Amino acid sequence: MMMDNLEPRDAGRTEPAAPRTPSEQAPMTDREVPLSAHHTAEAVHAWLDGEAVSEEALQASAKDYAFWQRVEAETQQRRRMQTPTYVTAQIMSAISKR
């Protein structure tokens, strides 16, 4: 796949850049967070994606399942967050002043 060269070290260069090591060639998202040694069970991914998964499959990965149940409880709480009322008022106030 053809990609733009966004490497800042290459700025202004006209000659071909020196070959990079495999880790340098990886996209930024690969380098910032190294691949996990721990792989979340596929059944748990499927459950988190809202797919039908048997309880047996989930219990086969009980530790992962328990961990993500806890995280899901927290994210469900966050899903109920509402915009503070003062924000809407400030937006409309800023608009009316201009």
Partner 1 sequence: MTNPLDPQEPLVDADQAIIDRVLAGEPGAFSILVTRYSDALYRHAVGMTGSPDDAADILQNSFIKAYHHLGEVRGRFDAWVFRIVANGCKDWLKNIRRTHVSYEEDDQPSGYETPEEELDRGELRGDLDGALAALPASLREAFVMKHVEGRSYEEMADLLGTSVGALKMRVHRAREALQRLLEDRYQ
Would you say 72 and 64 are in contact if contact means Cβ atoms under 8 Å apart?
no
Rounded CA-CA distance 37/21 in Å is: 21
Strands (E), the chain: none
45 is a contact residue toward partner 1 (CB under 8 A)? yes
| 32-68 exposure pattern, b = at least 16 Cβ within 10 A, e = fewer | eeeeeeeeebebbeebbeeeebeeeebeebeebbeeb
Stretch that binds partner 1, among 1-9, 12-20, 27-35, 51-59 (CB under 8 A): 27-35
6 is a contact residue toward partner 1 (CB under 8 A)? no
Stretch that binds partner 1, among 4-12, 14-22, 34-42, 52-60 (CB under 8 A): 34-42
From the list 33, 51, 52, 56, which residue makes contact with partner 1 (rule: CB under 8 A)? 33
Rounded CA-CA distance 29/6 in Å is: 14
4 is a contact residue toward partner 1 (CB under 8 A)? no
The residues binding partner 1 (CB under 8 A) are: 28-29, 32-33, 35-40, 45, 48-49, 63-64, 66-68, 70-75, 78-79, 81-84, 87-88, 90-92, 94-96, 98
